[in-house]
Amino acid sequence: MTAPKVGFAGMTHLGLNSAVASAARGAHVTCYDGDEALVESLAAGRTHIVEPDLDRLLGEHAAGLQFTSDLATLSDRDFVYIAPDVPTNDRGESDLTGIRELIERVDGSLPAEIPLIVLSQVPPGFTRQLKLRAGRPLYYQVETLIFGQAIHRALHPERFIIGCGDPEEPLPEAFRTYLELFECPLLPMRYESAELAKISINCCLVASIGVANTLAELCERTGADWSEIVPALKRDKRIGPHAYLAPGLGIAGGNLERDLNTVIGLADRHGTDAGIVRAWIHNSEYRKHWVLRALHRRLLGQVEDPVIAVWGLAYKPNTHSTKNSPALALIDHLDRYRVQAFDPVVKGAPVEALGIVEAPDPREACAGADVLAIMTPWNDFKQVPPADVARVMNGTLVIDPYRTWNPAACREAGLTYITLGSA
């Protein structure tokens, strides 16, 4: 079987991880981006994002990857993915300007028989409204990107959801051959259904997060422990072993927020009810300040000029993204205090912009601190013994929302330990 020749346009997080995974599955991949410096860096094996296994796989499959800033290089591809990240603003609204411009450039540069597949997340109605060259086959594919798990998700998708102009028509042979390399079910459907499927998945995730956050807070007030309840829920067939039941500090990262705002916009436009979605957003905003509320109860106003140590600035582990990061939201409310922070990836200018002290390592961030807040559950932090931190802190308070440390080990070290979902 001849290996499919695949093109990717847009070398941001989505496009790069998808392209590398495609090469790992045996496709011949050409990657386009208009940023010549970025293309040169990627061709040399240097990535610009943080993602586990990305650098390794890029090196291992370099022979199957070509990087270019010349759109004409995509002219011999069997089909081309449109795959840039779609940015969102602080209100979770998508800026579609960049992807529209990229589609227009690609469409105008490639022969009309080459199919285009929109991989970036777009709102319902976007794909069908595109005005492409006559005869151009057009599809929409639901992306599976999760920051920190992007390569694994791209290599091992649960299914492919494919939006089509007519779901009854067979997919182009080369496109189907490529999709079959991943050995997962194919679900063809109309464009609008596929576009809304991604949003539907994320709404279900948000609902699970809302359940976990609401009941975890009740645990904190009643003496129950959410970590003891979760195994019971996961054994219920109606919920399942993979249910998203970890309490957190609200929704972060941008993608879930975008989908919720898309649903609200559609509901307002079409006269349907989205009250439950507005409630999820309200609950998320409330949860973001859980650590701040704990600080006010336990420390602020009780200790003169407290020093606050913060571990983690990224919105989640295994990524450099700080979009809607709970840590940054917390720091924004601590401008009156000395904050000493450490993150294994977020460094330099982003930290300086926060007006806080950047520590060279986790222990140094805790030196002389009255409290430690572990805001991102990086694996690096799990390796630091609580006793080491207890020795360098002035105070004993540790606020660990995500249960990064073992509570018993913290208490054994003489620390006062607080976590989500436990009294």
What torsion, rounded to 10 degrees, do the Cα atoms 55, 61, 62, 68 define? Answer: -90
Find, among 304, 324, 369, the residue nearest to 342 by Cα: 369
On whether 373 is known to bind a ligand per the annotation, the reply is no
Q: What is d(CA 128, CA 284) in angstroms, rounded to the nearest whole number?
A: 33
On whether 33 is known to bind a ligand per the annotation, the reply is yes
On whether 32 is known to bind a ligand per the annotation, the reply is no
Start-to-end C-alpha separation, the chain: 60
**C-alpha count within 13 angstroms, C-beta hemisphere, residue 174:** 19
Q: Which residues contact 381 (CB under 8 A, 6 or more apart)?
A: 311, 312, 362, 374, 404, 405
Residue 56 token pair: 């390794």
Residue corresponding to tokens 């000493």: 340
Q: What is d(CA 358, CA 364) in angstroms, rounded to the nearest whole number?
A: 9
Q: What is d(CA 113, CA 295) in angstroms, rounded to the nearest whole number?
A: 61
Q: What are phi and psi of 307, to 5 degrees?
A: -105, 125
Q: Give the total residue count for the chain.
A: 423
On whether 245 is known to bind a ligand per the annotation, the reply is yes
On whether 286 is known to bind a ligand per the annotation, the reply is no
On whether 247 is known to bind a ligand per the annotation, the reply is yes
Q: Identify the burial level of 189 via C-beta atoms within 10 angstroms of its C-beta, where 0-12 means exposed, 13-18 middle and 19 or more buried.
A: middle
Q: What are phi and psi of 118, to 5 degrees?
A: -80, 115
Beta partners for residue 190, in sequence order: 164
Q: What is d(CA 232, CA 311) in angstroms, rounded to the nearest whole number?
A: 31
SS3 391: helix
Annotated binding site: 33, 198, 244-248, 316
Annotated binding site for substrate: 198, 244-248, 316
Annotated binding site for NAD(+): 33
